[in-house]
Amino acid sequence: MHRTVTELADGRELIYYDSEPGRDRGAEDRRPLDRVESAPELRQDPATGDWVTIAAHRQSRTYHPPADACPLCPSRDGRQSEIPAADYEVAVFENRFPSLAGEAGRCEVVCFTPEHDAGFADLTPQRARLVLDAWTDRTAALSARPGVRQVYCFENRGAEIGVTLAHPHGQIYAFSTNTPRTAKHLAAAAAHRARTGRNLFEDVLAEARAATERVVLAGEHWTAFVPYAARWPYEVHLHPHRRVPDLTGLTEAERAEFPGLYLDLLRRFDRLFGTAAPTPYIAAWHQAPLVGGEELALHLELFTIRRSADKLKYTAGTEAGMDAFMNDIAPEAAARRLREAL
């Protein structure tokens, strides 16, 4: 992996990730952009203790532009985008409309490919590995920034999820607080350690691997399984067999195996419903916070809100109002369907 760091016209950082050195990354951003002025505010809900970000400036962010005006495609034929180069492999840049900035954290966009109509599932294993290397590199860099507590890499795919740019991309958030879900993980792991003397995530993985009816696929270093109490219609957790806190802790063997397994999972998701449209999903890397996360474990959670070819799972009254999830599909049945989606 070769990294080239440069700047956009408004001073935001742009990083090209290439599989080999020697690529010309000297193209300049010639857009007449003003410097980004955003001041997201963190407010804590006194009733729950959860932190909420108020980012009113995002109301004006780019929303479903036509393909010929996509800001994530390379700059071509006199049309300047967020990527000045005429081509790229993987590119990461500071979000122009960040939810987090300054002391509240930082938001970055990860462009997986220059191909506008592709998806992560269309990547080669080599390109998927380069994305993994970019995630890892940014995790290390952002973790070293003052005030950062946790780094979160994720992808939203599909208009049903709320994606406003169709180009295949993900995001990285550097939080200055622990997220509510991480706080739940920390509390559950501490209680499990106190009760059993063992690590929660090691036990969850061991139980899932033993309960083969919920395993979707497995390799030498990773296992993908549907969790026992899955919240979403089709939800898969992908764990390395060796517990590590974050992406920087993976070995070369673990990194080498990941792309093939992950691409297999994504392609199974796209075959689930027999529709021409790709399956909407969220792919979320859970990494331990920098302080107090010794009991947590790196893993990826992949899930879709689609429960059948023509039905979506909405977070309505019980889920949105009470955070009490109701799943219409048994985890064992979901795992079976994913195993059969060859």
Q: Which residues are known catalytic residues?
A: 169
Rounded alpha-carbon distances, angstroms, from residue 36 to 13, 87, 270, 305: 12, 25, 37, 34
The two tokens of residue 249 are 């802790």
Element (H, E) at 203: helix 200-210
DSSP conformation letters of 270-297 = HHSS--SSPPPEEEEEE---TTT-TT--
Element (H, E) at 45: none
- C-alpha 116: how far from chain center: 19
Count, residues in the chain: 342
Residue 177 near residue 45 (C-beta atoms within 8 A): no
SS3 9: coil
SS3 40: coil
Where does 134-249 show beta strands of DSSP type E? 150-157, 169-175, 215-218, 222-225, 234-240
Sheet holding 234-240, edge to edge: 2-7, 13-18, 90-94, 105-111, 169-175, 150-157, 281-286, 299-304, 234-240, 222-225, 215-218
Distance, in Å, from the CA atom of 31 to the CA atom of 111, rounded to the nearest integer, reads 20
* Selection from 238, 217, 215 nearest residue 299 by Cα: 238
Residue 128 near residue 138 (C-beta atoms within 8 A): no
Return the DSSP state at 213.
G
Return the DSSP state at 3.
E
